[in-house]
């Protein structure tokens, strides 16, 4: 964790303090009215999120970049990197108002269709990212037209479930890899792959009781720095802060490194991914795992960095932050210091100030392909779709 990521939320200019105070007052008013049985007092409307016109402008500029400069003649976005960027970009366009009949969307969908494999997966031959690419493609195709792509999606579902690390991969419940998704039989599973698997299954209508989702919950629980009956790995007790890391399998790994005692450091992008996956798997607010994850987030709430990794993976973090806050369903999030955050408005401002003149976004800390403007712009447009102002 970079010191700036921790302390920036404590030492803020007076204007931000005034904004935080206003947000806190609005949240209190919201809660009081809920208790009283009404959404808001007579004659008062609470808006959460950014100014609608400003939001639309930023979104339109991002869309224009993808349509005018991001898409290749074959319908792909950064096709040399596989189909994942295309699937994410098309999904982002759909989630921001484009329809399946839009020429760019239609071309992108056609590109995905060309990469449906005989085994049911949707991926580039020879790729290491079969689970990622298939999971994102499933979400994209279902959003475009679930009925039209029903058979393709059903085969893809069987494929991703078939490569999940479980009994079919000679894993037992005692194995730390059990329930996870990863890069294939010879590479250990990880929380990022597993979170995409769970989200893909939920996006096509599978409920928390789906066996694959419950298996995934076993793995996700073991990625948390929280010792419970669900997590008896040696890492949990070494850094019991409630956050999440990359994987407990194959001797464990955290992209944020280790503590002096050998614990695996938690970081934000995986903590949000873990919390989101737990909610999708049916855990409720009173579950100790959910409580601990929310407490970690409250202590490390920050939109200037990816807490634990600084600027690395920042836009993956923004994308995951937005989805997780949306799933939590809270109009404002209260941090550990008691400050209330209109997370939609704050995330929007973080994205707006980072948008480049051509409408795109890119991460100068180029790790995990975030030097690619198509990928990062898709992440941002997806995040912005959850930032829409609401009343």
- 245-271 pLDDT per residue, tens: 999 999 999 999 999 999 999 999 999
Between CA 234 and CA 39 the distance in angstroms is: 46
Between CA 49 and CA 55 the distance in angstroms is: 9
The 10s digit of each residue's pLDDT in 94-116 is: 999 999 999 999 999 999 999 99
Between CA 22 and CA 322 the distance in angstroms is: 22
Q: Is 183 helix (H, G, I), strand (E, B) or coil?
A: coil
For residues 351, 352, 357 and 358, what is the CA-based torsion angle, rounded to 10 degrees? Answer: 60
Instruction: Name which CATH class applies to 47-385.
Output: mainly alpha
The 10s digit of each residue's pLDDT in 1-20 is: 333 332 222 223 343 444 34
Q: Is 193 helix (H, G, I), strand (E, B) or coil?
A: helix
Higher per-residue confidence, 17 vs 46? 46
Alpha helices in the chain (DSSP H): 3-7, 14-36, 52-65, 84-95, 103-113, 130-145, 150-162, 191-203, 211-222, 268-280, 288-299, 314-328, 343-352, 373-385
Q: Quick one: average pLDDT of 328-338?
A: 95
Choice among 20-24, 181-185, 298-302 with the minimum mean pLDDT: 20-24
Residue 295 has pLDDT above 80, yes or no: yes
pLDDT, residue 361, reads 98
Burial call 170-200: b when 16+ CB within 10 Å, e when fewer:
ebeeebbbbbbbbbeeeebbbbbbbbbbbbb
pLDDT, residue 1, reads 35
The 10s digit of each residue's pLDDT in 218-248 is: 999 999 999 999 999 999 999 999 999 999 9
Residue 273 has pLDDT above 70, yes or no: yes
The 10s digit of each residue's pLDDT in 120-146 is: 999 999 898 999 999 999 999 999 999
Between CA 28 and CA 98 the distance in angstroms is: 37
Q: Which residues pair with 253 in a beta bridge?
A: 247
Q: Which residues pair with 390 in a beta bridge?
A: 48
pLDDT, residue 8, reads 29
Higher per-residue confidence, 46 vs 297? 297
The 10s digit of each residue's pLDDT in 57-87 is: 999 999 999 999 999 999 999 999 999 999 9
pLDDT, residue 41, reads 45
Mean residue pLDDT of the chain comes to 89
pLDDT, residue 184, reads 67
Can you give the residue ranges of every domain in the chain? 47-385
pLDDT, residue 25, reads 46
pLDDT, residue 154, reads 98
Residue 38 has pLDDT above 80, yes or no: no
The conformation of residue 60, written as its DSSP 8-state character, comes to H
The 10s digit of each residue's pLDDT in 162-215 is: 999 999 888 999 999 999 999 865 579 999 999 999 999 999 999 999 999 999
pLDDT, residue 183, reads 84
């Amino acid at each position: 964790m970079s010191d700036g990521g921790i302390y920036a939320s404590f030492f803020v200019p007076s204007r931000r303090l005034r904004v935080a105070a206003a947000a806190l007052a609005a949240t209190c008013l919201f809660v009081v009215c809920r208790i009283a049985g009404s959404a808001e007092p007579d004659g008062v409307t609470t808006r959460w999120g950014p100014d609608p016109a400003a939001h639309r402008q930023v979104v339109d500029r991002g869309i224009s970049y993808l349509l005018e400069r991001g898409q290749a003649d074959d319908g792909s976005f950064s096709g040399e990197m596989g189909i994942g960027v295309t699937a994410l970009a098309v999904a982002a366009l759909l989630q921001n108002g484009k329809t399946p009949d839009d020429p760019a969307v239609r071309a992108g969908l056609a590109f995905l269709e060309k990469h449906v494999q005989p085994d049911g997966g949707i991926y580039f031959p020879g790729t290491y990212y079969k689970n990622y690419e298939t999971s994102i493609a499933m979400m994209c195709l279902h959003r475009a037209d679930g009925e039209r792509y029903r058979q393709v999606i059903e085969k893809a579902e069987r494929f991703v479930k078939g490569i999940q690390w479980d009994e079919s991969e000679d894993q037992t419940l005692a194995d730390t890899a059990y329930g996870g998704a990863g890069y294939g039989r010879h590479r250990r599973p990880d929380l990022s792959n597993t979170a995409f698997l769970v989200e893909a299954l939920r996006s096509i209508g599978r409920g928390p009781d789906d066996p694959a989702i419950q298996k995934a919950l076993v793995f996700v629980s073991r990625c948390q720095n929280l010792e419970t009956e669900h997590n008896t790995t040696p890492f949990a007790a070494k850094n019991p802060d409630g956050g999440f890391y990359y994987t407990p399998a194959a001797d464990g790994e955290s992209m944020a490194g280790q503590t002096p005692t050998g614990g695996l450091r938690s970081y934000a992008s995986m903590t949000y991914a873990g919390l989101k996956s737990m909610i999708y798997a049916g855990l409720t607010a009173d579950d100790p795992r959910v409580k601990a994850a929310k407490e970690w987030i409250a202590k490390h709430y920050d939109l200037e960095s990816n807490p634990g990794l600084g600027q690395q993976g920042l836009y993956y973090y923004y994308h995951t932050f937005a989805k997780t806050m949306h799933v939590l369903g809270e109009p404002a999030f209260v941090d550990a210091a008691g400050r209330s955050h209109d997370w939609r408005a704050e995330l929007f401002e973080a994205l707006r100030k980072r948008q480049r003149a051509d409408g795109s976004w890119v991460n100068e800390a180029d790790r995990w392909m975030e030097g690619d403007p198509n990928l990062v712009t898709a992440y941002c447009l997806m995040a912005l779709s959850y930032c829409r102002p609401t009343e």
